[in-house]
Structure 1
Amino acid sequence: MTNKKKKIAFVIGALTPGGAERVISTLSNGLVKDFDVAIITFKKSNPFYRLDERVKVISCFEQINKPTSIFGSIKLNYTIFKKVSSVVKNEQIDLLIGFITSANIIATLAALKNDIPSLISERNDPLKKDIPRFWVMLRKFVYPKSDSLIVQTEKVKTIYSNMLRHKNIVVLPNPISSDLSELRKNEIKREKIILTVGRLNNDKRQDKLIRAIYSLNLEDWKVIIIGKGPNKKKLNNLIKNLNLSNKIEILSDIKNIHDYYLRASIFVFTSKAEGFPNALLEAMHFGLPCISTDCNYGPSDLITNGKDGFLVPVNNQDILVQKIDELIKDDDLKKSFEKNAIETSLNYTSKKVTEKWKTIINQHL
């Protein structure tokens, strides 16, 4: 008689486009061979990334209205917690894995209520100032009650070790989606395109790239910004005001991201804060010569400055402009970055990272 597979479930707000959502999809597809895998989302959404048909998606609510007060927020989250708990009970889940602050807190509490282990995964800069105080307080109180806190870099581990009294903090990087890996090609016809990918928000700072292009006054290069988010209108206005509409384009909801990784010649990443930059890793995996800001966490784990890409100081616009100019003009440097970036990225293949997750899950089951 075969042993029945243990049942694990990820917990996240929704399966929209985004880094954490991509990681959950990639891990679910990799873990479904060894476990019965479910994804519990707070609200219903069509999964943006491909999911193995054996992965079960369970939504707590059709939709969720944004609360207008702190009491509304507490009430809503208590309702979500109760719903997640009942799903865990009905589905007979053996272990819960939370992703991102609010889902981590709800996953930990739901696991405690059902007397099962929980792993939580923190994806953001731990010193980020815009997390509501309510969640910061809860994080301090609830996180240590989870069985393991998974972070993406050693630097983040050090900060959480000082911030929380958690007995088990583990570093696991993000995996590259195997679906993406399969779409790489050896023979690529690169075009004169500078690419950036990321949510259009204050952390990603796409305006820095737009202003750099304005300074460089490039003849025959184009810039493609892929992403959606609250700053889209602001960025489009900036492009218009600088008369760059014929040079810079913003695209949202792009499913075939690999086509852009294959067409572009340079990837520029201008974040001021990161947890672990998926888009940068993917660009390197596709052999794109990359320039990234050296923000607190992530880029310096991936790029060795001058070897497989350039790291530039976060607020130094002059060096950003200078490095873009240098890469545009130096084909040999582009080739060397391309080769080395692919090599670096192979440490993060889905298979390697999924194996590490499997080991941790088994330790707690």
Structure 2
Amino acid sequence: MKIRYLLLHAYGTGGTIRTVMNQANTLVAAGHDIEIVSVIRHRDEIQFPLDDRVAVTSLIDGREARAGAQGWKEGLKNPEDVALAHTDPELVPAGEFGVRYFNRYVEVVVGAYLEGLTDGILVTTRPALNILAAHHAPRHLVRVAQEHMNLSVHRKDVVAAIQEYYPRFDAVAVLTHRDLEDYGKILPDTHLVRIPNAVHSMDQQPSDWSRKIAVAAGRLAPQKGFDMLIPAWAKVAERHPDWQLRIFGHGEKRAQLRALIEKHHLYNQVLLMGQTKALDDELTKSSMYVLSSRFEGLPMVMIEAMTHALPVVSFDCPTGPADVLTDGQEGMLVPAEDVDALAEALIRLMDDKALREKMGTAALETAQNYAPSAVHPQWETLFTELLTASGRD
């Protein structure tokens, strides 16, 4: 099978990018022809492990322009292109979380690429790209839309576009049972499937639960709730000043989070570690994982932490954590955005190494459900069924 994945920026470090590359690695190893297409390229190197047999192409190469995912605009020479690049998009809704990366020029470039496809399976990976594919991609392609966010977090204009455009797909894939229910209510006649994302590997060194380190990871953005985690840690530090919170990731809220650390005098207890390519090693060195998000799709870094036998303390946010965790088994779920409850749960695990070991062992067992060997055959089966049904196999 020829399978193309369309990503906004395949050279970034987000969870969607990582999970798509995990899928690509497994499918190319199974003998399929896999290509990853990046709308925008702003780095030389892919940031995650990717099989050399996976082809990678880009539609807009901005490496010679100013640094950053939008610096490519400065490299445009044609006045018409410059004007389009500074014109709001026509199809992508203003409420799409990544709308800042889209403009009329991007829409034209992506549309032209999609209209030129002649074969295979096209998988698009966010609402903006799903909408563009529904509008531009030829019907002779098998078209699959991936949704990595729960419907409840999308803004009204995005939901309206989902209702208009998603029925045109051969299948729409969602991550959780809750997602399947929610999308089903507004897309009753659309072929919906629930396929969770897979971790990149189950072959990880487990924690021994002895080090006084907790890890959190994700983009330093409001969604991830680190502005709530730091005040929670201030309460934790009163009881356990010898424990350390290490937050991995980069993003636009770094300065604000640094100021919050200083406000609570947590200079030695909370560290902003930046981006790392050795997160597996850092997880092995820790004794628990913390998820403080306001919302999630399926929290993949949390599940990656579970492959290291780490217990989890998480807000019961929409959606994802409760799809993976049972409170009191693999970790603790506390009410969403309840800073005091988050602190209390962290303290409880810090007080009890035997509890960390018990929950961490259960976490490792549950993580098996997200192993590549458990998840990726579901994609292969779906693609085969869609090709057969379309008569294009």
The one of 113, 117, 123 equivalent to 1:83 is 113
Change in Cα spacing, 1:236 to 1:166, as seen in structure 2 (3 Å) is farther
Provide the alpha-carbon RMSD of the alignment: 1.9
Shift, 1:68, TM fit: 5.6
Change in Cα spacing, 1:76 to 1:185, as seen in structure 2 (3 Å) is closer
- For each residue in 1:248-284, what CA deviation from the matched residue of structure 2 results, as whole angstroms up to 9, or x when unmatched? 1112221011011101111111111111000111111
Shift, 1:188, TM fit: 4.1
Equivalent residue, structure 2, for 1:171: 194
The answer to which of 213-222 and 194-203 deviates more is 213-222
- Following the alignment from structure 1 to structure 2, what is the Cα–Cα distance between the partners of residues 110 and 52? 29
- Following the alignment from structure 1 to structure 2, what is the Cα–Cα distance between the partners of residues 189 and 342? 13
Q: TM-score, normalised by structure 1?
A: 0.91
Shift, 1:186, TM fit: 4.9
Whether 1:152 aligns to 2:175 is: yes
- For each residue in 1:229-262, what CA deviation from the matched residue of structure 2 results, as whole angstroms up to 9, or x when unmatched? 2211110111112111121111222101101110
- For each residue in 1:277-299, what CA deviation from the matched residue of structure 2 results, as whole angstroms up to 9, or x when unmatched? 00111111111111011112110
Give ranges in structure 1 of 5+ residues lacking alignment.
1-5
User: Secondary structure at the residue paired with 2:317?
Assistant: coil
User: Secondary structure at the residue paired with 1:127?
Assistant: helix
Shift, 1:115, TM fit: 1.7
User: Secondary structure at the residue paired with 1:11?
Assistant: strand
Whether 1:31 aligns to 2:15 is: no
Question: Is the Cα contact below 8 Å between 2:241 and 2:269 reproduced in 1?
Answer: no
Equivalent residue, structure 1, for 2:2: 7
- For each residue in 1:5-64, what CA deviation from the matched residue of structure 2 results, as whole angstroms up to 9, or x when unmatched? x21101110121011101110000000123100011101243211111110011111135
Equivalent residue, structure 2, for 1:3: none
Equivalent residue, structure 2, for 1:207: 227
Equivalent residue, structure 2, for 1:294: 316
Change in Cα spacing, 1:195 to 1:172, as seen in structure 2 (3 Å) is same
Change in Cα spacing, 1:68 to 1:225, as seen in structure 2 (3 Å) is farther
Change in Cα spacing, 1:166 to 1:245, as seen in structure 2 (3 Å) is farther
Question: Is the Cα contact below 8 Å between 1:143 and 1:166 reproduced in 2?
Answer: no
- The residue type paired with residue 119 of structure 1 is V
The one of 38, 60, 68 equivalent to 1:41 is 38
The one of 79, 84, 95 equivalent to 2:121 is 95
- Following the alignment from structure 2 to structure 1, what is the Cα–Cα distance between the partners of residues 86 and 327? 44
The answer to which of 59-68 and 352-361 deviates more is 59-68
Give ranges in structure 2 of 5+ residues lacking alignment.
63-71, 74-84, 91-101, 388-393
Change in Cα spacing, 1:75 to 1:138, as seen in structure 2 (3 Å) is farther
Equivalent residue, structure 2, for 1:236: 258
The one of 159, 164, 170 equivalent to 1:141 is 164
> Aligned pairs, how many?
350
Question: Is the Cα contact below 8 Å between 1:177 and 1:350 reproduced in 2?
Answer: yes
- The residue type paired with residue 79 of structure 1 is V
Indicate the percent of aligned positions where both proteins have the same amino acid.
27
Change in Cα spacing, 1:190 to 1:84, as seen in structure 2 (3 Å) is farther
Shift, 1:140, TM fit: 2.1
The one of 196, 205, 213 equivalent to 1:193 is 213
- For each residue in 1:190-210, what CA deviation from the matched residue of structure 2 results, as whole angstroms up to 9, or x when unmatched? 421111011111111012221
- The residue type paired with residue 61 of structure 2 is E
- Following the alignment from structure 2 to structure 1, what is the Cα–Cα distance between the partners of residues 207 and 344? 29
Shift, 1:110, TM fit: 4.0
- For each residue in 1:92-139, what CA deviation from the matched residue of structure 2 results, as whole angstroms up to 9, or x when unmatched? x3110111111222233343x26211111000121225x583x44432
- Following the alignment from structure 2 to structure 1, what is the Cα–Cα distance between the partners of residues 318 and 156? 21
Shift, 1:344, TM fit: 0.4
Question: Is the Cα contact below 8 Å between 1:97 and 1:107 reproduced in 2?
Answer: no
Change in Cα spacing, 1:240 to 1:337, as seen in structure 2 (3 Å) is same
Change in Cα spacing, 1:10 to 1:313, as seen in structure 2 (3 Å) is same
Q: TM-score, normalised by structure 2?
A: 0.85
Equivalent residue, structure 1, for 2:66: none
User: Secondary structure at the residue paired with 1:79?
Assistant: helix
Question: Is the Cα contact below 8 Å between 1:85 and 1:114 reproduced in 2?
Answer: no
